[in-house]
Structure 1
Amino acid sequence: MKKNKFMAAIAIATLTLFFISCNDNESVSDNLETSSASEIVALEASVEEVESVADAYSLYAISALEFESNVTGKSDSEKTVPGKRCKDRSGFFPECTEFEEEIVGETVTITVSFPDDCVDRNGDVISGTITVVKSISDTDKTRTVTFSDFTINGHVINGTKTHEYTTENGDGNPQMSGSVDISVETEEGTITKVGTRVVVITSGGDTDIHIDDEKTITGSYTFTDAEGNTKAVEITTALVKPAACKYIAQGVKTYTKNGEVSTLDYGDGTCDNLATLTDADGAVTEIELKRKRRKH
């Protein structure tokens, strides 16, 4: 009889431990899911910082480069201009940048390339190639920008952005708007962004130099991380990149997944590398914006 009672006690204790273990596992799983969601947003926010640098290179490659048109040894329908004949009116590109322009028929191809460890004026380490293809026609505003292993602080960008560029939008500001389909290699793996994006120079667009240019960014896209986790992202309040700040300093993004909505607020315009995430349950987390890929 004592033996039976003893065995029953062991069984109850085992079941109790089992249920406690199950409950603990559920709790850990919930925490992991919350942590994972926060990490995905932090990753996306850091990729946004990297992409804003890529936007600047695209914008000035489209708007601020001038090439000498008369090149000996080439016909009018096919000219290749070496980098030394290129003028960067913006002063944005580092001295290590190499430029080339090719004109075939009505198509102009501008190639902007960077040797390894080319450091720009903001301290970003740049390498790889950007290619801009446009029509010679003044009425065709479409520009196709292709990134080929274009690397910013260790983040490798590949893919295309197709823009319509105008020197004056309805407010009189330079604007670059269109579609985005890129991949970015990060420390967590390769992510993708597919959607739309509009970049406007809201201040400083009336001068050639880049140092007084304040930019705003709007758009929406699908963000997919290396593990296949996907979020719909919309910039619900325009992101603001001040001329004197390395980081996006203002604006709000909304993330939607499975009907749950969270927001990322970049702040009141103060120049720092912080943003505030509010998840679907109302929990608030401070997110650190990163522009450099961690070294393993």
Structure 2
Amino acid sequence: MKNCFKKLNFEGLLILTIVLIVSCNNEESPEIIETGKTETFEVAQLQASDESELISEEIINIGEDVYTTDEIQATSKGSYISDYLPECVTITTVVTSTSKEKTIDFGEGCELPNGNFLSGIIKLSYLKDMEMAMKTLSFSLENFTFNEVSVEGNATVQRMRSNENGNPQSDAVANFTGEWPDGGTASFTGNRTREWIEGFGSGFWGDNVFLISGKGTYTGKFDNVFVKETISPLRRELSCRFLVSGILEISRNDTTVSLDFGDGSCDSKGILTYPNGETEEIFLRRFKN
């Protein structure tokens, strides 16, 4: 089911990821997973927590894409331009004596190449010395929505120009909350590491690939709390709106399940493994393709 999204007129960990918020907008009766203990998992809640990571990862990815364009232009003295953000996005830069402040404005609504629909503003700031090997990126939001989820919060990213493998790497701490169209709210806090393993500097968003690891906490409706930790790195190909492989361990109270994102196919399916060893294929998030 490989489904690469072509560029339209930027989710182009992974991310995790890691991440943001969501509450569930499932119109059907919530499916309950019996785990073999008294504890249960709602598939709808797992779908919501998965999408929260998507939102968090996408926000940070957009900011890093804007920063990377600035970095490559400054350090290579070239005219590099990323094609990830479409023309409907307006980027404004204010330079102070020590920093750069960027406003990434999606206006009333703007569709990214991978099909995600965003509105509002992402604010990004960092020191203007582009020769630094390590840089701190600060994120905040203003009137921001992601696929109809109203999102608030902030993130801080420690970005390394080159790790031990020679790849750019970022370590993010994120704290987001959001409100779903049905009025439900949720929150996501977490730490994630993302290594840019393919496509860096190519200028074409569709060949960018990342490996994501980390740990986060999702709090949904009725204060249901899930702690999620990467067991096998999550692979994110920017041409797909879903994670394509990797395994998360998800714990609620004393019960733990694992979620396998698959074999590399671009789809919204995942395989849950329960404590009793049984497995179940589920769809993640509100959309299935």
Q: Same fold (TM over 0.5)?
A: yes
> Please, which runs of 5 or more residues in structure 1 have no aligned partner?
1-28, 70-86
SS in 2 for 1:141: strand
**Structure 1 vs Structure 2: percent identity of aligned residues?**
23
CA contact (8 A) 1:153 1:292 kept: no
Q: Quickly say closer, same or farther: Cα 1:156–1:200, change in 2 above 3 A.
A: farther
**Structure 2 match to 1:226:** 221
Per-residue deviation, 1:227: 1.8
Shift of 1:37: 3.0
Partner of 1:252: helix, strand, or coil? strand
CA gap 1:159/1:226 in 2 versus in 1, 3 angstroms: same
Please give the TM-score of this superposition, normalised by the length of structure 2. 0.77
Does residue 57 in structure 1 map to residue 53 in structure 2?
no
- How far the C-alpha of 1:34 sits from its partner, in A, is 6.6
Deviation at residue 68 of structure 1 after TM alignment: 10
CA distance in 1: counterparts of 2:242 and 2:92, whole angstroms: 30
Deviation of 1:291 (Å): 5.8
225, 237, 260: which one aligns with 1:242: 237
CA apart distance, 1:283: 3.6
Q: Cα 1:180–1:113, aligned 2, differ >3 Å: closer, same or farther?
A: same
**Deviation sequence 1:50-99 (CA, Å, 0-9, x none):** 33332321220221247999xxxxxxxxxxxxxxxxx8711111101111
Q: Residue by residue, what CA displacement relative to the aligned partner does 1:220-267 show, whole Å, maximum 9, x if unpaired? A: 011101321111110111111124323111001111122211111101
* TM-score, L = length of structure 1: 0.75
Amino acid at match of 2:61: A
Kindly state the Cα deviation for residue 196 of structure 1 after the two structures are TM-superposed.
0.3
Deviation at 1:35, TM superposition (A): 6.4
Q: In 1, distance between residues paired with 2:277 and 2:181?
A: 28
Match of 1:286 among 275, 281, 289: 281
The answer on whether the counterparts of 1:182 and 1:192 sit within 8 Å (CA) in structure 2 is yes
Identify which of 172, 179, 201 aligns with 1:178.
172
Partner of 2:13: none
CA distance in 1 between counterparts of 2:50 and 2:72 reads 36
* Mapped partners of 1:185, 1:147: distance in 2: 14
Paired residue total: 248
Q: Report the counterpart of residue 258 of structure 2 in structure 1.
A: 263
Say which SS state the counterpart of residue 95 (structure 1) adopts.
coil
Please provide the CA RMSD for this pair.
2.8
